[in-house]
Chain A
């Protein structure tokens, strides 16, 4: 099974702090997606990374795809309460997505 491991499982920090969450796999994948899910809602696509070493920025969020295409990270600068949510990574596999278990992030005001 081509599992995705996300770490940490849970993170609670104060507003204004920086943080990084990780998504790792033992196998190479052609693309990886990051989603954010807020309570009571469905996951929302944030970004897709496809090239090893690729870096994409979405306002205060920076996504990086590892050079070997086995891992990815999400860095949030100056976190805000609105960043609170469940961050999920997903990889493509045979026309479907394989999902990580997510990082639950809480930003305290």
Chain B
């Protein structure tokens, strides 16, 4: 009965590669989010999607692109990975901005 799920849990890859992280929610929420948590545990929002429309797009590199095939899915695609992209990426969903439900995270390590 997982509410928000992400795959993979761990991702180790080399610089320059392209990778994707998948996210699915079964809560029926209208909005989904992607966050990046750095080594100091600071959460920074990257994107959010509401009914398949991008409503927040923070100043992240355009190497990052969210893709939402339907309301229950929001995938994150990353091109030309860099060392600085290493972090934990969290997917979340919610009915409003105030209460969000998070996935277990994807730990990305770029070598």
Contact = CB atoms under 8 A, between A and B. Distances in A.
Contacts of A73: none
B55 interface: yes
A102 B37 CA distance: 12
B98 A48 contact: yes
Most buried by B among A41, A44, A48: A41
Contacts of B86: none
Interface stretch (B13-21, B60-68, B70-78, B102-110): B102-110
A101 B104 contact: no
Contact of A95 (B55, B99, B102): B55
Interface size class of B (residues with CB under 8 A): 20 to 34
A93 to B, nearest CB: 8
A95 B40 contact: no
Contacts of B92: 42
Contact of A97 (B40, B42, B45): B45
Given A43-B43, A97-B45, A102-B41, A92 B97 contact: yes
Given A96-B48, A96-B56, A45 B101 contact: yes
B43 A99 contact: yes
A90 B102 CA distance: 14
Contacts of A102: 41-42
Given A48-B99, A92-B98, A41 B42 contact: no
Contacts of A44: 102
Interface string A40-56: 11111100100000000
Contacts of B51: none
28 contacts: A31-B98, A33-B98, A33-B99, A41-B105, A42-B4, A42-B92, A42-B104, A43-B43, A44-B102, A45-B100, A45-B101, A48-B98, A48-B99, A90-B43, A92-B97, A92-B98, A95-B55, A95-B56, A95-B97, A96-B33, A96-B97, A97-B97, A99-B44, A101-B40, A101-B42, A102-B41, A102-B42, A104-B41
